[in-house]
Structure 1
């Protein structure tokens, strides 16, 4: 699954708004919006933060990449 789909999937599963996910990851709402709309690909560090957040919410990175 492409990264922008992963972000949307995680938000949907966790029932979070873009604003809530942005706050959890300490990034702006605009950043989450750009990720979801495939406007930008996050840096490796930002991707790690996202996957760490997923793991802390019992969503495995490997699972997301298989979807």
Structure 2
């Protein structure tokens, strides 16, 4: 709704992980629980890279709002 109300053309980066900053491991564990899958998830921190983009024009609810 925020995008419609803005009525401004352009590119927007929608990031519901901007405030909580869940790791990929945390996100996959939440998906596993939400969809009740039988995935075996093994954490690995050999490579760490934060590639979040910040676009403060549009606010989204945090991931925990959706996945608890």
TM-score normalized with structure 1 length: 0.32
TM-score normalized with structure 2 length: 0.32
Q: Which structure shows the higher helix fraction?
A: 1
